Structure 1
Amino acid sequence: MREWQVKRRERTRQLIELGGLVAKAKLVELTDDDRAALYGAFLTVATKLRGIDGAQALVLFRRRGKRAFEAEQDEAVSK
């Protein structure tokens, strides 16, 4: 397989996984599938991460995300 094909597949996989996170967070339902609202929310997060407290915000976001993944995994195991 050519290098550009491998890179394209990797990028496609990454985009699919990121879309899955949007769906997992129920942002599609919460915004009534409003792409402008979703984009605005992402821009707000990006602004926060670029700000003075960006590193601290990233730690907080990461912690919340890990907890959510763990809770989901625990729920799946208990079923």
Structure 2
Amino acid sequence: MRAWQVERRKRTRHLIELGGLVVKAGIVELTNDDRAIIYGALLWIAAKLQSHEGEHARDLWVAKGTQAFNAERHDKREGQRP
């Protein structure tokens, strides 16, 4: 496989994973798949991260995301037990 093909597949996988997070967070359903709302929200997040409150927002969001990932892992483990 050529180098550009490998890079393209990596990029495609990365984009799919990011889209999966949007779905996983419930954003698609909550917005009725309205791309303008989703894009506007993402722009708001970007602006917040660039503001003087960016560090605080980053800390809050990483904690919330980590907590959600950990809860999901815990739920999956609980569901796999006999």
Bin the TM-score by the shorter chain.
Answer: over 0.9
Which aligned pairs between 1:29-48 and structure 2 lie closer than 5 A?
29-48=29-48
In structure 1, how many angstroms separate the alpha carbons of the residues matched to 2:49 and 2:24?
A: 22
Note the C-alpha offset of 1:46: 0.3
Letter in 2 for 1:15: L
Is the aligned partner of 1:70 residue 2:50?
no
Structure 1 segments (4+ residues) deviating >2 Å:
none
Largest Rg, 1 or 2: 2
Aligned to 1:56: 56
Question: May I ask how many residue pairs the two structures share in their alignment?
Answer: 79
Identity of aligned residues (%): 54
Q: Give the TM-score, by structure 2 length.
A: 0.92
In structure 2, how many angstroms separate the alpha carbons of the residues matched to 1:3 and 1:62?
A: 33
Which stretches in structure 2 are left out of the alignment for 5+ residues? none
- Structure 1 vs Structure 2 CA RMSD: 0.7
Which stretches in structure 1 are left out of the alignment for 5+ residues? none
Note the C-alpha offset of 1:49: 0.2
Q: Give the TM-score, by structure 1 length.
A: 0.96
